[in-house]
Every structure is written in structure tokens, then in C-alpha cells.
Homo-oligomer: A and B are copies of this chain.
Amino acid sequence: MRQPPLFGLLTDFGLRDGYVGVMKAVALTIAPGAQLVDISHEVAPQDVEGGAWTLGIAWRAFPVGSVLLCVVDPGVGSARRAVALEVAGRCFVGPDNGLFTYPLEGESEVGAERCVTLDNPRYHLPSPSATFHGRDIFAPCAAHLASGVALEALGSLVDVATLARLPIALRPAWRGDALVGRVAHVDHFGNLITTIGPRETRLALAHPLARISLGAWTIGARATHFAAGPQDEPFFLQDSSGALAIALRDGAAAARMDARRGDEVTLYGLDGASPSASDVGERGG
């Protein structure tokens, strides 16, 4: 028996109202036996950027053949496109509003991708509402993919280059010898995960004079893992996605430093690290 593909779900629906359960019931009616895996339903309401980040750290953990249903969709019912997209062997289904920025960013690395707009009503629920495409369009289309329908059957081909992407501002930039990035995410533990990528992070960890500045804070302490950080003082380390992160041992760096997503983070003191050699924006899976 063919093992059904993994079927990941990412939304901003929260877990209280039953909307996620409805979407799952619809999906499992179409694709019985699909193996559902929640990525998150606690993306902040209508926070496309937050959803994109979360998808960005998660999608590579899903094997080739997986289907990822992603609905953070403030534009539901508007002219924004509903799409299904294949990147690196995974199928992504959701609104074309930038939610798929990270898989798309990796495209040159991961190979060919295809995209369709979900304009074939045969794969929607009958009489879709204008307010819950998660239930009426996205979940059914994703479930049809999971049960073997071809991507192209779901609708008309779309040029991948036309898909919405979030501002490239997310990538850090060199200002002289300093690399200026941002806090990309504040996680559940209060860790500040930045847009500074694996290569610069490794350089910073190796360079005794490297410093991170964020607001009024300057951080020189660093560690290989959380428990090795100093007591009661923020430090930096390489997080599990490869990015530079700021943490506080047995506490929440975000609260201590009064920091939030979008805050500017500067890495300096890396003499000899040249912008041209940079892999800025690289991101592990």
C-alpha cells in the first residue's frame, strides 16, 4: 500500500474556533488516510510575514512529495490569486500574498518549480464562500493533490516569477564593515532569531571581537548552545535553522531586551569578512 504523503498545515486560524478542524475534515473527506501534520495555527492573525517565516523554517523537514496547505489570507475573497506551487518536490497551496517567499527564495538551489492558479472549480467545494477559502478552495485542492491529482489539473499555469514575495529588506545588508539585519522572529522561548545567515553567524562565533548591537544593547558573549551561555546576560548563538539568534539562559531575551520582530540588529567587528564572500540570507531547513 502506498504511504500517503505528509500533509502539513499552517494557518493563522488559532485553535479555538474549530476552523482548523473543519478544514481537516474537508481534507480527509477528499483524501482519506492523509497524514496531517500541524506546522502552526498560531501565526498572529493576518500576519503573512510571520506565517512566511514559520513556513521557511519548517518546509524542508517535509519529505519530497509532501503537500503543505498554508492559509494566512487577509485578502480572502479579493482579487489576490489562489495558487498551488511546486518547489523542490513539495506542493504548496494557499494565497499568493508572499506566504511562499522562503521556498521561492531557495528556488535556484532547489530546482524547477511550477505554479497554477486554482481556477478549476471541479476541485473546490460546491458554492465556495467569499470568506473561508481555506475550507472551500485551499483544503480541497491540497487534498486532491495529496490523493494523486496532478498540479496542472487544478488550474491555469502561472509564471512563478509573478508570485508575490515579501520585501527583500528581510535580507541583511552591509554598511561598511557592519552587517545590518533584523529580528525575523521572536520564538516561544523569547529567543530573537535574526535574518543574519549561517556563514556570518559562524564567522561571528569564531571572531573574538565580533559584537551584536540591538537597541541599547551590545552583545559580545556567545555560546554553542543555550546552557553554555553566561548567567543572566544575553548572548548570541547559531540557532537550529543556522541563523544568528540572541538568547538568555533560563529566560526570555525578548523580554529582557524589550525587543521585537523587525528590530534592527547589527553585527560588527568582523575584520576581514568581505561582503563579496557573503552568503547573506542563506537559510537552513
Please list the residues of chain A having a beta carbon within 8 angstroms of any beta carbon in chain B: 1, 3, 6, 8, 10, 13-22, 24-26, 28-29, 32-33, 35-43, 45-46, 54-55, 57-58, 61-63, 66, 74-78, 80, 129-132, 135-136, 185, 187-190, 224-228, 237-240, 250, 252
A74 touches B226 (CB 8 A): yes
Q: How far is the CA of A6 from the CA of B23 in the complex (A)?
A: 13
**Contact for A13 among B18, B136, B188, CB less than 8 A:** B188
- Which B residues are CB-close (under 8 A) to A20? 38
Q: How far is the CA of A17 from the CA of B184 in the complex (A)?
A: 12
- Which B residues are CB-close (under 8 A) to A39? 18, 21-22
- The residue in chain B whose Cβ has the minimal distance to the Cβ of A188 is B14
A225 touches B37 (CB 8 A): no
B225 touches A76 (CB 8 A): yes
Other than the known A6-B25, A21-B40, A36-B37, what 17 A-B pairs have Cβ atoms closer than 8 Å?
A: A3-B32, A3-B33, A10-B21, A14-B42, A14-B188, A15-B40, A15-B41, A16-B42, A16-B188, A17-B188, A19-B188, A22-B57, A25-B58, A74-B250, A75-B226, A76-B227, A129-B239
- Which B residues are CB-close (under 8 A) to A22? 39, 57-58, 61
**Contact for A17 among B14, B40, B224, CB less than 8 A:** B40
Counting every copy of the chain, the complex holds 3
B10 touches A28 (CB 8 A): no
- Which B residues are CB-close (under 8 A) to A28? 6, 35, 37
**Contact for A57 among B18, B40, B227, CB less than 8 A:** B18
B61 touches A40 (CB 8 A): no
Q: How far is the CA of A227 from the CA of B46 in the complex (A)?
A: 11
Shortest C-beta distance, A136 to chain B (Å), equals: 8
- The residue in chain B whose Cβ has the minimal distance to the Cβ of A51 is B18
A185 touches B228 (CB 8 A): no
* Chain A to chain B contacts (Cβ below 8 Å), 28 pairs: A1-B1, A3-B32, A6-B25, A6-B28, A10-B21, A15-B42, A18-B39, A19-B187, A20-B38, A21-B38, A21-B39, A21-B61, A22-B58, A24-B38, A25-B63, A26-B61, A29-B61, A36-B37, A45-B188, A61-B135, A74-B226, A74-B250, A75-B226, A75-B227, A76-B225, A77-B226, A129-B238, A130-B225
